[in-house]
Amino acid sequence: MKKIIFLLLFPLLCQGQEIKRAYYNSGAILSEVHYNIEGKRDGTTKYFYDWGAWAIKTEANYKNGKMIGTFKSYTKDGRIKEEGFYKYTEEGVYSERTGIWKRYYDSGELNTEITYDENGRSVKYISYEKDGAIMPMPEGGC
C-alpha cells in the first residue's frame, strides 16, 4: 500500500522539475540535466562520452543554478580524473571549491592535491610524480 501511495504522489513531488537530454549525432546521450521551475539547473547533471564501455564524463549536483557538493570527472575508461567538493553560496555567480580537490594521471595515480579554504582560495598545492613521490615546488611557489 505504501508503494502505491508513493507512486501516486511521486508526480506531485517532482512537479516543476524538468530533465533535459541532449544527444550526439550518433544517437548516444551527450548530457542529462535537471532543471527547476525557474529554469535553473537543480539536481544531478551528467555529461557522457560518445564511446566506450564507461560513458560518464562528468557528474555534478546543482542547486538554483550553482554547483553544490561532490564533483567528479572520469577518463574514457572510467577512472576518476578529478574529484572535489563545491560549497553553495547565495552570493556571486558561482559556487566555491572547498576542501581537497584531487586530480589523477590517466593511469590512475594521484597527480595533484589542491586544498581550498572556506572562501574558495587555494591554500595548499601538492604535485606528485607517477610513483607517488612529491614534486619539489619551484623557488617562490607556483
Over the stretch 11-67, which tens digit does the pLDDT of each residue have?
A: 434 557 899 999 999 888 999 999 999 999 999 999 999 875 568 999 999 999 999
Q: Supply φ then ψ for residue 132, to 5 degrees.
A: 95, -10
Residue 129: per-residue pLDDT: 95
pTM above 0.85, yes or no: no
Q: Which letter does DSSP use for residue 134 in this model? A: B
What are 2-14's pLDDT values in tens digits? 443 333 334 434 5
The pLDDT of residue 1 is above 50: no
- Of the candidates 101, 112, 114, 109, which has an alpha carbon nearest to the alpha carbon of residue 131? 109
pLDDT band at 125 (very low <50, low <70, confident <90, very high): very high
